[in-house]
Amino acid sequence: MSRLSRALVFLLFLAPYVFSLIVAQGQMALPEGFLGLVQNSLIQAALSALFAVALGVSIGIGLLGLPRRLRRSTEAAVLVGSFVPSIAWVLMWMVLLPNVRGLTAIVILHAVGASGLIASAVVRKVRTRWAGSLELAMVEGAPRGLTWRLGLLPLLRSDLVTYLLTIFASSLSSFSIPLLMGGAKAWTFEIAIHQAVRVHSAWDQVAALTLWQWVTLTALLFLSRSRMPLRAGAIDHRESRAVEDYGWKPLVLLGVLPVAAVLVVLLSSALRGVQQLETAGLLIDGGELGSALLMSIFVAHFGGLLTAATALFFALSRPSETERRLLSSYVAPSAVITGLMLLLMRAESVSALADALRISVGCALVFAPVLWRMRWHVELSTLERQLEVAEIFGASAKMIVRQILWPQLRPLFYWTWGVATFWSFGDYAIGAVAASRPITLALLSRTLLESYRLEAAAILIAFGLFLGFLSYLFFSNRGERNVGRKMS
């Protein structure tokens, strides 16, 4: 039964790819200008990855220069940028730099969105792995620049390559930012797939592009993932004065200022935004806006629940190390293909509830593999020894699930629910295809952005982010309350 359960999960994730081949009736054809598309996509992804890693390392150096307490709060602020939905970054850019589009906008927004996670990873790595080396460098009188250039950066090389490949893969498959910032040019395969469906109805091209993208990204993620799981207890949590001495505080502004810019844009548009909402007719009776609010709450929470439940279901089925690595190397399906699959499966259902269910399922299909790769794979690896001991002492599979796996995975389940809910509040890529009309705050925001009612969009985006953040706090705290409880 466990093997069948894992097979069902893999089939669920592969369904959008199979769908594209079925609709194309097994035919595949590369679109005209395919080599140009590959060149544009690779240039965009390479520049995004290089800029993101350089920015993340710079911010990490800035964070390392801060005192311990200030570093933690500042790092949390920088990490906000990595969890803010892309629609907020797009709005900030359209307000501050309305005439700058294309490759420059895409690369910078990809980089600032990913740099927080890279900076946090660099800080953790240096502080917990190389603090002793920095103490020795400080005793020897090595200057900051020399220590980083000849010492720390070479030590971090393998990690930086992993970050580079990961951001390259995510930028190559990005859809939301290039959709609004890229203009008419196809800077990613997602946009090319979208154009092939919407403009040409060329499903043979869609099948070929989807397969090419899947193979390419799977190979990249296979190269970027760690070959060995993180071992519990391998981290040294002690603080060292040398860490602070070899950081440089001013660089932290590179991470703080973009997040501050997003917040300022969202909070400074209230009065003008209300007027624009009235002009757009959304405040006449409040019916459409109220309906979008309720649908956003339903879509986000149900999508988050489906995401967490999918990851938990796969984890409780006791996957082998090979199966865990396969899922970690799996590429989330195209938002366009996922949305179209869900839309065409029940094309006759045009109610708001049907649209909401489609978006929720689509969010789960896209977010579950990402969050599995982010947390679940490592968490299961750390529990492997406990499971081996339990089996040696004769524990049944049911007992292992109830008394070992579920009690220890429960906090991660709620964390996943919270993060996926936060992301779902800001998703408009899947809904733009799967929904027959703008039924959520994010979809309404996208419509307002396209009509250049930026302040009105800012209000809806800010409100959605606020609701998403409250949901994340609620589920995270619920998970934390379960930590340390007696297993039963």
Residue range 206-219, pLDDT digits in tens: 778 877 877 777 77
* Domains of the chain, residue spans: 1-15+269-488, 31-267
CATH architecture assigned to 31-267:
Orthogonal Bundle (1.10)
Is it the case that residue 302 has pLDDT exceeding 90?
yes
Q: Helix, strand, coil: what percent of the chain each, to 5?
A: 80, 0, 20
Is it the case that residue 121 has pLDDT exceeding 80?
no
Is it the case that residue 482 has pLDDT exceeding 50?
yes
pLDDT band at 486 (very low <50, low <70, confident <90, very high): very low
DSSP assignment of 213-258, as one string? Answer: HHHHHHHHHHHHS-SSPPPTT-------HHHHHTS-GGGGHHHHHH
Q: Pick from 41, 11, 84, 48: which is nearest to 190 by CA?
A: 41
Say if residues 375 and 417 touch (Cβ distance below 8 Å): no
pLDDT band at 309 (very low <50, low <70, confident <90, very high): very high
pLDDT band at 284 (very low <50, low <70, confident <90, very high): low
pLDDT of amino acid 131:
64
| ∠ CA 216-217-220, rounded to 5° | 90
Q: Determine the average pLDDT of the residues in 428-433.
A: 74
pLDDT of amino acid 271:
62
Is it the case that residue 488 has pLDDT exceeding 50?
no
pLDDT of amino acid 167:
83
> For 49-90, what is each residue's pLDDT tens digit?
999 999 999 998 888 888 877 877 787 778 777 777 777 788
Q: Pick from 444, 394, 462, 456: which is nearest to 85 by CA?
A: 462
| ∠ CA 415-218-376, rounded to 5° | 20
CATH architecture assigned to 1-15+269-488:
Orthogonal Bundle (1.10)
Cα-based distances in Å from 221 to 48, 121, 335: 16, 18, 18
Say if residues 443 and 435 touch (Cβ distance below 8 Å): yes
Say if residues 464 and 296 touch (Cβ distance below 8 Å): yes
Question: What values do phi and psi take at 322, rounded to 5?
Answer: -65, -45
Torsion of CA 8, 338, 297, 285, to 10 degrees: -150
**Residue 201 region, left (φ>0) first, then alpha (ψ -120 to 50), else beta?**
left
pLDDT band at 286 (very low <50, low <70, confident <90, very high): low
Question: Residue 91 corresponds to which tokens in the numbers above?
Answer: 């709005």
Specify the higher pLDDT residue, 429 or 298.
298
- Rounded distance between C-alpha atoms, residue 46 and residue 176, angstroms: 18
Say if residues 172 and 50 touch (Cβ distance below 8 Å): no
Burial bucket for residue 483 (CB in 10 Å: 0-12, 13-18, 19+)? exposed
Q: Determine the average pLDDT of the residues in 406-435.
A: 83
Residues 6+ away with beta carbon under 8 Å from 168: 45, 46, 48, 49, 220
Instruction: Please count the residues of the chain.
Output: 488
Residues 6+ away with beta carbon under 8 Å from 19: 337, 340, 341
Is it the case that residue 19 has pLDDT exceeding 50?
yes
Is it the case that residue 229 has pLDDT exceeding 70?
no
pLDDT of amino acid 97:
85
Is it the case that residue 294 has pLDDT exceeding 70?
yes
Q: Determine the average pLDDT of the residues in 117-142.
A: 71
Is it the case that residue 348 has pLDDT exceeding 60?
no
- Rounded distance between C-alpha atoms, residue 167 and residue 361, angstroms: 25
Q: Comparing 1-15+269-488 with 31-267, is the CATH topology the same?
A: yes
pLDDT band at 337 (very low <50, low <70, confident <90, very high): low
Say if residues 458 and 272 touch (Cβ distance below 8 Å): no
pTM comes to 0.72
Q: Determine the average pLDDT of the residues in 465-475.
A: 84
Q: Pick from 351, 364, 265: which is nearest to 9 by CA?
A: 364
